[in-house]
Amino acid sequence: MARKSRKPSAGKRASSGAPRKPSSGAAAKASPGAPTRSSPSASGKPSPGAPKPARARPARPPPLPPALPYDQQLSQAARSLAVPVWQVLNGIILATAFVGVLVGLWLLRPTPTFPAVEVATGSPFDVRFRVVNDSGFATLANLRITCVLASLRGSGLTDTAVAASDLAFETPGASRLAPGEAATFTCPFHAGIPHLGRNDAGVAQRAEIYFHSEYDLPPLPGWFPITANSAKFIVNTQFLPPRWTVKPSP
């Protein structure tokens, strides 16, 4: 008796041969819009189960270099101070040289001279004094002379000044003292110093006078006047007639 083979039914055949469709619950789980445990939520905040990002540690400062020995520190300090000290020394040297040049020019400036004057007649204070420009190159412009009674023994008068008057240049029409030229002037001591009295001969022999000059040196500007004081003069009775001469050194 032959065995009848069993044929699978159409429903079983279709279920076995066709792929299985995922269920609606599985499709919902696999949908791209659904959030997962490892992905962030739609609001941008990480899910509670997601690992937190590691915090960056601050960078450590570089280690300090080792301290130099004491002798090296001294040598570095000396090298750093060498240039400023040298600059200061150069400045002092230049300033000293500049002052030295100014002092030299001041000492070499042309100054008027006052020769001895005879007292032939009248009061020794009324004679005409002379001023000479001994310079060979400089002209004395705007010459102003002041007669100064330096001292008068027994009277207490000291450094009493009167302006010279009647300044007359020996060259006609001249207004400045050219090199080698001279001029004359008077000192009105009686008008400026009433305490002198009228005993001129005795008073003059006890007096010491000098002349203060103020003048310009072209082409230097006029706001920079040059000044000079002469030596002290006395009435020297060793001459006949007496004359005003420079007081001898003690």
Retrieve residue 183's tokens: 């001029």
Grade residue 199 by pLDDT with cuts at 50, 70 and 90. low
The dihedral sign for the CA sequence 192, 149, 204, 131: negative
Q: What percent of the chain has pLDDT over 90?
A: 29
What per-residue confidence (pLDDT) applies to 83? 62
Place of tokens 């030596």: 231
Quick check: is 158 in a domain? yes
Structural domains counted in the chain: 1
Residue 180 lies in a domain: yes
Residue 137 to residues 36, 106, 111, Cα–Cα distance (Å): 114, 16, 12
Instruction: Give the pair of three-digit tokens for residue 27.
Output: 């499709």
Q: Is residue 63 part of a domain?
A: no
- State how far the Cα of 185 lies from the Cα of 163, in Å rounded to an integer: 10
**DSSP three-state, residue 90:** helix
Mean pLDDT of 167-184: 90
Contact by Cβ (8 Å): 240, 208: no
Question: Is 51 contained in some domain?
Answer: no
Do residues 182 and 135 touch, judged by C-beta distance below 8 A? no
Tell me the average pLDDT across 30-43: 47
Q: Is residue 210 part of a domain?
A: yes
* Residues paired with residue 19 on neighbouring β-strands, in sequence order: none
- The overall pTM is greater than 0.75: no
Structural domain harbouring 204: 112-246
CATH number of residue 169's parent domain: 2.60.40
**Mind listing the pLDDT tens digit for each residue in 227-249?**
999 999 999 999 988 999 999 98
Residue 90 is assigned to a structural domain of this protein: no
**Residue 123 domain-assigned?**
yes
Residues in a beta bridge with 229: 212
Evaluate whether 110 touches 218 at the Cβ level (below 8 Å).
Answer: no
Is 103 inside any structural domain?
A: no
Higher pLDDT, 134 or 104: 134
